[in-house]
């Protein structure tokens, strides 16, 4: 054999490598968390449509059956290790943080050419714009209600079409229930670290907005602490938890207070609860629509003295394109196929949320459901969650502050002082009124 015989296998190997790299199909990775089991069929439908349109592309969809917090950790680690998926699904509140971390791509070039973009109302478009760019397309929005048990109200001799005239009315109503209906928790509002995001978005923020104050100033990019407003919020917590003992202390310590409290309201053991709109669907699944319509009422959150009534809106969870994606155009094609009129309508019928697109809201099967109809109506009165970077740090400080007051550990003034110190330490510059 000639002396170059050893080279032949090496040459073949390199030819093999070269062919392989050309023949390798483009892969688009899509990751999302889901425990409830509603999303998969819609994600799969979008995937199917995508594959039909792009048969040469390898679309890998992975569903993680883990809580969204654990998914977030997993996602962030993957991004850090430069192994991010092309498309991922996280909460809209984190958008500013993801932008600041340079983790996501703006969708602006795509949406301006998208014919469906016209169906999204201006308020939604404004909500997904950060520093001049659009970063995501929401589909199922979050709203919150002040839920109450009509049957318990009837037992207490209260009118079942409740429209609280202000914070004091809420407390008085709860007090009446405490006095007349035994074995029932009068009122729950989340506080402390145990409440997690619930403390912030179902407790603190609704109350804060009720004083007409804001938490974050978009223009200057700084957090705002309106001391007199925050004091009022803390006073409410103090009254509810300590003075009148309308909210049980376990709310501060249960491992998953939101799960427990939702169950309790559904079972008729809790009278008043401020929670997310998505919880209603859970009760309907468990107890049947007719039953729930008879027993569970919902009303808007009042401001401190009554008007304006409002709800706290959130973007829900949505899809983003990773900045590490090598094929952003294809990634967009997937997102586009998920955000169709029909998918958006159907997924939000199954997992009740108001929809972000007007044409989905007009679909008869969507309009037919009273609860969803009501949710969509109140979007006009929605004040959105603060869209700010560092929102998780802020949330943590709020949790600590409310927890300290609700447990009696600190007085309102000390807790507020502490909060100001901690916010300054976290964010440096904070606007204090």
Closest approach of Cβ 50 to other proteins, in Å? Answer: 22
Q: What is the DSSP string of 249-293?
A: GGGGT-SSHHHHHHHHHHHTSEEEEEEETTHHHHHHHHH-HHHHH
Q: Does 276 bind other proteins (CB under 8 A)?
A: no
Binds other proteins (CB under 8 A): choice among 44, 60, 83, 243: 83
Cα distances from 227 to residues 41, 44, 316, 404, 426, in angstroms, run: 48, 49, 29, 17, 18
Closest approach of Cβ 399 to other proteins, in Å? Answer: 8
Query: Sheet holding 222-225: strands in order across?
Result: 216-217, 222-225, 430-432
Closest approach of Cβ 34 to other proteins, in Å? Answer: 11
Q: Does 64 bind other proteins (CB under 8 A)?
A: yes
Pairing mode of beta strands 144-149, 270-276: antiparallel
Size of the site for other proteins (CB under 8 A): 50
User: Are the beta carbons of 385 and 138 closer than 8 angstroms?
Assistant: no
Q: Does 35 bind other proteins (CB under 8 A)?
A: yes
CA 130 and chain centroid, separation: 17
Dihedral pair phi/psi, residue 107, rounded to 5°: -95, 0
**What gap in Å lies between CA 430 and CA 139, rounded to an integer?**
33
Residues 4-23: x where in contact with other proteins by CB under 8 A, - otherwise, as a string: --------------------
Two structure tokens written together for 173:
């109503």
Q: Does 403 bind other proteins (CB under 8 A)?
A: yes
Residue with Cβ nearer other proteins (79 or 271) = 79
By CB under 8 A, what part of segment 278-297 binds other proteins? Answer: 282
**What gap in Å lies between CA 266 and CA 282, rounded to an integer?**
9
Residues 313-352: x where in contact with other proteins by CB under 8 A, - otherwise, as a string: ----------------------------------------
Binds other proteins (CB under 8 A): choice among 48, 60, 80, 126: 80
Closest approach of Cβ 170 to other proteins, in Å? Answer: 24
Closest approach of Cβ 347 to other proteins, in Å? Answer: 16
- The position carrying tokens 């709310």 is 251
User: Are the beta carbons of 126 and 113 closer than 8 angstroms?
Assistant: no
Cα distances from 56 to residues 16, 25, 28, 33, in angstroms, run: 21, 7, 11, 26
Residues 96-125: x where in contact with other proteins by CB under 8 A, - otherwise, as a string: -xx-xxxx----------------------
CA 283 and chain centroid, separation: 19
Buried b (16+ CB within 10 A) or exposed e, 243-268: ebebbbeebbeeeebbeebbebbbee
Closest approach of Cβ 370 to other proteins, in Å? Answer: 23
Residues 181-220: x where in contact with other proteins by CB under 8 A, - otherwise, as a string: -----------xxx--------------------------
Least Cα distance to 90 among 327, 391, 426, 312 occurs for: 391
Residue with Cβ nearer other proteins (17 or 53) = 17
Binds other proteins (CB under 8 A): choice among 27, 299, 327, 396: 396
Q: Does 430 bind other proteins (CB under 8 A)?
A: no
Residues that bind other proteins (CB under 8 A): 35-36, 64-67, 69-70, 73-74, 76-77, 79-81, 83, 94, 97-98, 100-103, 192-194, 249-250, 252-256, 259-260, 263, 282, 389-390, 392-393, 396, 400, 403-404, 407, 409, 418, 422, 425
């Amino acid at each position: 054999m000639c002396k170059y015989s050893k080279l032949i296998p090496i040459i073949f190997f390199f030819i093999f490598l070269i062919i392989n790299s050309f023949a390798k199909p483009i892969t688009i990775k899509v990751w999302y968390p889901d425990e409830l089991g509603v999303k998969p069929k819609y994600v799969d439908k979008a995937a199917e449509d995508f594959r039909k349109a792009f048969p040469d592309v390898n679309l890998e969809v992975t569903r993680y059956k883990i809580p969204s917090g654990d998914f977030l950790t997993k996602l962030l680690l993957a991004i850090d290790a430069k192994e991010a998926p092309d498309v991922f699904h996280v909460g809209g509140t984190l958008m500013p943080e993801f932008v600041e971390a340079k983790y996501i791509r703006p969708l602006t070039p795509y949406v301006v050419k998208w014919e469906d973009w016209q169906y999204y109302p201006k308020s939604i478009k404004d909500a997904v714009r950060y520093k001049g760019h659009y970063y995501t397309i929401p589909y199922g929005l979050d709203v919150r209600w002040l839920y109450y048990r009509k049957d318990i109200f009837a037992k207490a001799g209260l009118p079942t079409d409740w429209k609280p005239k202000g914070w004091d009315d809420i407390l008085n109503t709860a007090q009446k229930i405490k006095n007349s209906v035994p074995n029932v928790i009068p009122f729950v509002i989340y506080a402390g670290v145990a409440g997690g995001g619930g403390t912030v978005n179902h407790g603190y923020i609704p109350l804060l907005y009720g004083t007409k104050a804001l938490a974050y100033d978009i223009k200057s990019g700084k957090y705002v602490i309106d001391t007199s407003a925050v004091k009022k919020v803390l006073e409410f917590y103090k009254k509810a938890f300590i003075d009148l003992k309308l909210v049980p202390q376990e709310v501060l310590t249960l491992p998953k207070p939101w799960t427990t409290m939702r169950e309790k309201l559904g079972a008729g053991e809790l009278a008043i609860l401020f929670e997310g709109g998505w919880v209603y669907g859970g009760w309907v699944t468990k107890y049947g629509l007719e039953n729930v319509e008879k027993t569970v009422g919902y009303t808007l959150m009042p401001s401190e003295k009554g008007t304006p009534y409002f709800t706290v809106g959130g973007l829900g969870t949505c899809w983003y394109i990773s900045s590490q994606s090598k094929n952003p155009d294809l990634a967009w094609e997937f997102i586009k196929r998920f955000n169709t009129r029909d998918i958006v309508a159907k997924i939000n019928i199954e997992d009740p949320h108001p929809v972000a697109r007007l044409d989905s809201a007009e679909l008869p099967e969507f309009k037919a459901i009273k609860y969803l109809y009501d949710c969509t109506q109140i979007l006009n009165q929605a004040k959105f969650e603060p869209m700010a970077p560092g929102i998780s740090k802020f949330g943590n400080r709020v949790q600590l502050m409310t927890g300290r007051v609700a447990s009696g550990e600190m007085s309102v003034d000390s807790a507020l002082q502490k909060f100001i110190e901690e916010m300054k330490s976290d964010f440096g510059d904070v606007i204090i009124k």
